[in-house]
């Protein structure tokens, strides 16, 4: 749950860069408060003068003065609103970016337990709730608090008993409101969690709608959705009811305060202590108490939402990657790789056991093994998506745990089977949002991949926005190759990379791959023998253990090697492809 310290930390961190605009905002808010207090005072003067039959001209001037103050208030209010929105959006956009970056940097274990739909809700939904809070906090809560103080001070000047009484009463009311708030926050958090789950469910099902329909699971999915929505319905109703009880309380408060101040006014007026204008002033000021207290509690509603959001944002920031970052840099050029007695288990299930091998710089390693034998895990350890349990993974002689993660991953290029295409320009898809890569370089790579023609057929060339379903799996795969080509990596990992390509297209990029591998260290993971033909060394894994490792030519020549056995199992057609 969010503590005051959490709020303060967030406010300080994201409002500090906005100091100057925030200061100007404070001045404007002070100005609005002063103007709002001036109104009732002018009305009292007017009533008392009119009752005393003052000159008509004086009364008209007073009325015009009142009108001028009103117009000025309007102007200052809008200026303050504009400024507060500027501050709010600047602050929450910074927060949204930081939060997204933080989550992207978390290790895969985190992403395995949170759907993209849920993260949309937690990164965007929660920050947006905060945006309202940030942008309106100063103007509403601070403005309301100032107005409240001003009204109470002026009331005290009229009659210290009434002023003090209403002051104590207001303080008590606000204290109780805060208590109600504390009760409401966990309900709201639960309601928001149920929302996130519901939208997460929807997002996954929308992404898989073809799978659902073509396999006749529509009715069943609908049934499940109704269950998810029902759960959220009950959470939401409860949260709203508890949250709204604050408003009932506020209304009762004003009922008592309003009637009480009029009663006091009546008594003072009848005893001749105050004028009729002052009775009206008491009445107006008590009515005016209503707006700031209502605003504070109204914002409290937002505040409750924001409190739940702050708590959830804090929890997200508190998620730590299990991976400690190192500092060592990597040398330029091809990178040698070594696994030394590496053992790794994922969620208690052993994946790799005592794996050792050494790949010299510039050589190409082919990794073979059945599905689930741990091939992909090798590359994940190499990129430090996970840490080994025992043993060491070395790149360029250094344990990967001592290396700077960004630089390590920056020097490695990976093509996986699953290619994600972003709904962004072709350029951004290729460069992965790196604007520093010049267009000529992008075009050269597309040319090398034989995609130059395809790009010309697109309406806006490199600026064309790609949508996921407009690309065939093969085209997407070529995009993934393009991403690696552009990065000039010292280590290339092709994970089942050619599996999506039909043999003809594969031939097309053969040459390009040759060029990519030249002068680089490479690891090619493939199920098919043919695709590892270019390998210098072969590693065969089974059940997470090294079954065979050595130069391909040596293993192929050895009639009792596992490689020879694989070559002889009637898979020649795979070899020939």
- Interactions with other proteins, residue window 391-450 (CB under 8 A): 405-410, 412-414, 416-420, 422-424, 428, 431-434
| Nearest distance from C-beta of residue 23 to other proteins, angstroms | 19
Figure out which of the listed residues 31, 34, 39, 186 binds other proteins, where binding follows CB under 8 A.
Answer: 39
Figure out which of the listed residues 3, 356, 472, 533 binds other proteins, where binding follows CB under 8 A.
Answer: 472
Q: Does 226 bind other proteins (CB under 8 A)?
A: yes
Q: Can you tell me whether residue 544 is helix, strand or coil?
A: coil
Pick 7 or 66: Cβ nearer other proteins: 66
Figure out which of the listed residues 259, 273, 554, 557 binds other proteins, where binding follows CB under 8 A.
Answer: 259
Name residue, tokens 């990597």: 330
Q: Which x/- pattern over 73-112 shows residues binding other proteins (rule: CB under 8 A)?
A: xx--xx--xx--xx--xx--xx-xx--xx-xxx--x--xx
Window of 254-262, 304-312, 333-341, 552-560 that interacts with other proteins by CB under 8 A: 254-262
3-class SS string, 414-468: EECCCCCCCCCEHHHHHHCCCCCCCHHHHHHHHHHCCCHHHHHHCCCHHHCECCH
DSSP bridge partners of 491: 412, 521
| Nearest distance from C-beta of residue 507 to other proteins, angstroms | 6
Pick 321 or 392: Cβ nearer other proteins: 321
Instruction: Give start and end residues of each alpha helix (H) in 319-390.
Output: 375-382
Q: Does 500 bind other proteins (CB under 8 A)?
A: yes
Q: Which x/- pattern over 115-144 shows residues binding other proteins (rule: CB under 8 A)?
A: xxxxxx--xxx-----x---x---------
Pick 1 or 114: Cβ nearer other proteins: 114
Q: Does 537 bind other proteins (CB under 8 A)?
A: no
The helix (run of H) or strand (run of E) holding residue 112 is: none
Helices and strands counted in the chain (H then E): 21, 10
Pick 174 or 323: Cβ nearer other proteins: 323
Q: Does 62 bind other proteins (CB under 8 A)?
A: yes
The upper half-sphere exposure of residue 432, i.e. CA atoms within 13 Å in the direction of its Cβ, equals: 13
Name residue, tokens 């510039």: 362
Of the candidates 230, 295, 224, 236, the one whose C-alpha atom is nearest the C-alpha of residue 77 is 295
Order of strands across the sheet with 545-551?
A: 412-415, 491-495, 521-525, 364-369, 537-542, 545-551
Q: Does 233 bind other proteins (CB under 8 A)?
A: yes
Pick 1 or 193: Cβ nearer other proteins: 193
Question: What is d(CA 293, CA 418) in angstroms, rounded to the nearest whole number?
Answer: 55
Interaxial angle between packed helices 56-104 and 4-15, expressed in degrees from 0 to 180 and rounded to the nearest 10:
100
Question: What is d(CA 515, CA 111) in angstroms, rounded to the nearest whole number?
Answer: 34
**Stretch 273-292 residues interacting with other proteins (CB under 8 A):** 276, 279-280, 283, 291
Q: Can you tell me whether residue 364 is helix, strand or coil?
A: strand
Figure out which of the listed residues 37, 202, 361, 567 binds other proteins, where binding follows CB under 8 A.
Answer: 202
User: How far from 132 is each of 24, 161, 302, CA to CA, in Å?
Assistant: 19, 38, 8
**Stretch 328-347 residues interacting with other proteins (CB under 8 A):** 347
| Nearest distance from C-beta of residue 105 to other proteins, angstroms | 6
Q: Does 533 bind other proteins (CB under 8 A)?
A: no
Burial class (CB in 10 A: 0-12, 13-18, 19+), 206: exposed
| Nearest distance from C-beta of residue 373 to other proteins, angstroms | 9
Pick 26 or 276: Cβ nearer other proteins: 276
Pick 132 or 364: Cβ nearer other proteins: 132
Figure out which of the listed residues 27, 67, 315, 557 binds other proteins, where binding follows CB under 8 A.
Answer: 67
């Amino acid at each position: 749950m969010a503590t005051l310290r959490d709020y303060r930390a967030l406010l300080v961190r994201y409002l500090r860069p906005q100091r100057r605009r925030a200061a100007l905002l404070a001045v404007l808010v002070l100005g609005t408060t002063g103007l709002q207090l001036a109104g009732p005072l002018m009305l009292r003067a007017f009533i008392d003068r009119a009752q005393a039959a003052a000159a008509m001209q004086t009364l008209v001037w007073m009325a015009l003065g009142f009108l001028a103050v009103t117009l000025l208030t309007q102007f200052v209010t809008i200026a303050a609103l504009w400024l507060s929105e500027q501050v709010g959006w600047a602050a929450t956009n910074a927060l949204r970016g930081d939060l997204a970056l933080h989550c992207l940097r978390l290790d895969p274990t985190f992403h395995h337990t949170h759907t993209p739909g849920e993260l949309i809700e937690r990164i965007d939904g929660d920050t947006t709730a905060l945006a309202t809070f940030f942008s309106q906090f100063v103007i509403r809560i601070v403005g309301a608090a100032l107005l409240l103080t001003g009204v109470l001070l002026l009331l005290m000047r009229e009659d210290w008993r009434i002023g003090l009484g209403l002051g104590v009463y207001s303080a008590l009311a606000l204290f109780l409101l805060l208590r109600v708030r504390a009760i409401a926050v966990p309900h709201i958090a639960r309601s928001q969690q149920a929302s996130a789950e519901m939208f997460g469910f929807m997002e996954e099902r929308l992404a898989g709608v073809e799978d659902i329909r073509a396999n006749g699971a529509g009715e069943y999915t609908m049934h499940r959705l109704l269950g998810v929505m029902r759960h959220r319905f009950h959470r939401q109703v409860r949260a709203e009811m508890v949250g709204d009880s604050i408003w009932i309380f506020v209304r009762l408060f004003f009922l008592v305060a309003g009637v009480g101040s009029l009663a006091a006014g009546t008594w003072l007026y009848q005893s001749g202590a105050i004028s009729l204008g002052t009775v009206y002033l008491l009445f107006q000021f008590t009515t005016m108490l209503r707006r700031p207290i209502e605003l504070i509690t109204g914002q409290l509603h937002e505040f409750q939402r924001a409190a739940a959001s702050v708590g959830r944002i804090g929890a997200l920031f508190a998620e730590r990657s299990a991976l400690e970052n190192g500092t060592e840099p990597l040398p330029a050029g091809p990178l040698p790789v070594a696994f030394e007695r590496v053992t790794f288990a994922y969620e208690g299930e052993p994946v790799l056991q005592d794996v050792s091998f050494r790949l010299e710089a510039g050589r190409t390693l082919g990794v073979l093994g059945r599905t689930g034998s741990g091939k992909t895990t090798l590359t994940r350890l190499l990129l430090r998506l996970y840490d080994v349990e025992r043993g060491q993974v070395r790149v360029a002689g250094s344990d990967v745990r001592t290396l700077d993660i960004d630089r390590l991953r920056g020097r490695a290029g990976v093509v996986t089977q699953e290619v994600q295409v972003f709904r962004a320009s072709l350029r951004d898809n290729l460069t992965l949002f790196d604007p520093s890569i010049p267009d000529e370089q992008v075009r050269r790579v597309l040319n090398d991949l034989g995609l130059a023609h395809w790009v010309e057929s697109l309406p806006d060339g490199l600026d064309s926005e790609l949508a996921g379903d407009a690309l065939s799996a093969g085209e997407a795969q070529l995009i993934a190759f393009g991403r690696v080509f552009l990065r000039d990596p010292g280590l290339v990992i092709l994970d089942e990379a050619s599996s999506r390509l039909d043999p003809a297209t594969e031939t097309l990029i053969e040459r390009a791959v040759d060029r990519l591998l030249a002068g680089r260290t490479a690891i090619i993971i493939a199920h098919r023998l043919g695709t590892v033909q270019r390998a210098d060394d072969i590693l065969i894994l089974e059940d997470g253990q090294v079954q065979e490792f050595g130069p391909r030519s040596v293993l192929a020549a050895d009639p009792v090697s596992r490689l020879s056995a694989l070559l002889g199992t009637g898979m020649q057609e795979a070899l020939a492809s």
